[in-house]
Amino acid sequence: MARPPAESGSKPIIGFSRNSKGLPNLQHNLIESLQNNSLGKLTALRSLNLRGNRIRTLPAGAFKGLTNLGQLYLSENLLETLPAGAFQGLQRLKWLYLQRNELKSLHADVFQGLNSLNWLDLRFNSLQNLPSGLWCDHMPALLWLEMEGNDIEQLTSSSFTRCSSLTVVNVRNNSLKSIGRDTFTPLSSVWELDISWNSLAPLPIGTFNGLGHLKLLNLSYNSDMILSLDLFFGLDNLTSLDLRGLEMSQDCQHSRVLLSLENLHFVYFDDFSYCRYALQARGCSPKSDGISSLENLLALEFLRVVVWVLACFTVLGNSFVILGRLLIKNENNMHSLFIRNLCAADLLMGVYLIIIASRDVIYRNEFIQHALSWQESVLCQFSGFLAMLSSEVSVLLLAYMSMERCLIIVFPFRTMEPSTRQNQTFIACIWLFGLLIATLPFLIQDSTCFYGSSSVCFPLHLRSPYGQGWVYGAVVFIGLNLCAWFIILLCYVCMFVSIHRTRMRTTGQPTHKADWIGWRFFFIVLTDSLCWIPTVVLKLLVLHGVNISETFNAVIAVVVLPINSSINPILYSISTSNFKDGSLRIFRTRRQSLSRIVTGNSAGNTNMSARTSLGKRWLVGAKQLHAHCSVPHLGTLRHLARSTSGLGGSSQLSAPALTMTPLSLVLMSPRARPKQCLASAAILDQGNPEGQVLVEEKESTL
* pLDDT exceeds 70 at position 558: yes
* Residue range 21-43: mean pLDDT, rounded: 77
Residue 13 pLDDT > 50? no
Amino acid at 471: V
pLDDT at 693: 38
Q: Can you tell me whether residue 439 is helix, strand or coil?
A: helix
Residue 500's pLDDT is 74
Q: Which residues pair with 240 in a beta bridge?
A: 216, 266
pLDDT tier for residue 652 given thresholds of 50, 70 and 90: very low
Q: Mind giving me the DSSP string for 125-169?
A: S---SPPSSSGGGG-TT--EEE-TTS---EE-TTTTTT-TT--EE
Between CA 365 and CA 97 the distance in angstroms is: 50
3-class DSSP state of 672: coil
Tell me the pLDDT band of 560, cut-offs 50, 70 and 90.
confident
Q: Is the pLDDT of residue 607 over 50?
A: no
Q: Is residue 631 predicted with pLDDT exceeding 50?
A: no
Cα–Cα distance, 518 to 324 (Å, whole number): 26
Evaluate if residue 641 carries a pLDDT over 80. no
Phi, psi (degrees; rounded to nearest 5) at 122: -120, 25
Taking every pair of Cα atoms in the chain, the longest distance, rounded to a whole number of angstroms, is 129
- R_g (Cα) of the chain, nearest Å: 40
Burial of 59 (0-12, 13-18, 19+ CB in 10 A): middle
Model confidence over 391-450: pLDDT tens digits?
Answer: 999 999 988 988 888 887 877 655 566 778 888 999 999 999 999 999 988 887 655 677
**CA gap 532, 207 in Å, rounded:** 47
Task: Using pLDDT thresholds of 50, 70 and 90, give the confidence band for residue 26.
Answer: confident
| For range 610-623, the mean pLDDT | 50
Residues 6+ apart with CB under 8 A from 53: 26, 27, 28, 29, 30, 31, 32, 76, 77
Give the pLDDT mean for 100-107.
Answer: 93
126-182 pLDDT, tens digit each: 999 888 767 898 999 999 999 999 999 999 888 998 899 999 999 999 999 999 888
Query: What is the 3-state composition of the chain as percent helix, strand, coil, each rounded to the nearest 5?
Result: 45, 5, 45
pLDDT tens by residue, 286-345 = 998 888 999 999 998 999 999 999 999 999 999 988 888 887 765 567 778 888 899 999
| Cα–Cα dist 560/239, whole Å | 40
| Whether pLDDT at 663 is above 50 | no
Contact between 321 and 569 (Cβ < 8 Å): yes
Distance CA 434, CA 346 (A): 13
CA gap 433, 418 in Å, rounded: 20
Q: Give the span between the Cα atoms of 84 and 688, in whole angstroms.
A: 108
Three-state secondary structure call for residue 48 = strand
* Cα 251 from Cα 248, distance rounded (Å): 9
Does residue 686 surpass a pLDDT of 90?
no
More confident residue, 516 or 174: 174
In three state form, how does the secondary structure of 372-394 look?
HHHHCCHHHHHHHHHHHHHHHHH
For residue 284, list its beta bridge partners. 267
Q: What is the pLDDT of residues 233-253, one digit of tens each?
A: 889 999 999 999 887 754 455
Q: Which amino acid is at 593?
A: S
Query: Each residue of 543-552: pLDDT tens digit?
Result: 887 777 767 7
Cβ neighbourhood burial of 222 (10 Å; 0-12, 13-18, 19+)? buried
Rounded Cα–Cα distance for residues 114 and 123 (Å): 19
Given a cut of 70, whether residue 616 has pLDDT beyond it is: no
Distance CA 227, CA 261 (A): 14
Count of C-beta atoms within a 10 Å radius of residue 238: 26
When mean pLDDT is compared over 109-123, 235-249, 564-578, the highest value belongs to: 109-123
**Looking at residue 211, what is its pLDDT?**
94
Domains detected in the chain = 301-575 (1.20.1070.10), 613-700 (no CATH)
* 3 state DSSP class of 557: helix
Read out DSSP for 468-520? TTHHHHHIIIIIIHHHHHHHHHHHHHHHHHHHHHHHHHHHSS--HHHHHHHHH
Q: Is the dihedral of CA 675, 677, 682, 683 positive or negative?
A: positive
Of 104-113, 625-634, 641-650, the poorest mean pLDDT is in 641-650
The whole-model pTM stands at 0.69
Q: Looking at residues 574-595, what average pLDDT do you find?
A: 67
**Looking at residue 9, what is its pLDDT?**
43
pLDDT, residue 493, reads: 85
Rounded to whole angstroms, the Cα distance separating 458 from 385 reads 8
Over the chain, what is the mean pLDDT? Answer: 78
Distances (CA, A) of 671 to 586, 618, 627, 658, 685: 42, 22, 11, 19, 21
Give the residue from 128, 150, 16, 13 showing the smallest Cα distance to 73: 13
Nearest Cα neighbor of 139 from 120, 167, 158 is: 120
N- to C-terminal Cα distance for the chain?
75
- Nearest by Cα to 273 from 288, 295, 260: 288
Task: Decide: helix, strand or coil at residue 216.
Answer: strand
Distance CA 287, CA 534 (A): 25
Cβ 234 vs Cβ 212: under 8 Å: yes
* Nearest partner of 573 among 524, 639, 641, judged by Cα: 524
Contact (CB, 8 A) for 43 and 18: yes
Is residue 554 within 8 A of residue 299, CB to CB? The reply is: yes
Residues 6+ apart with CB under 8 A from 497: none
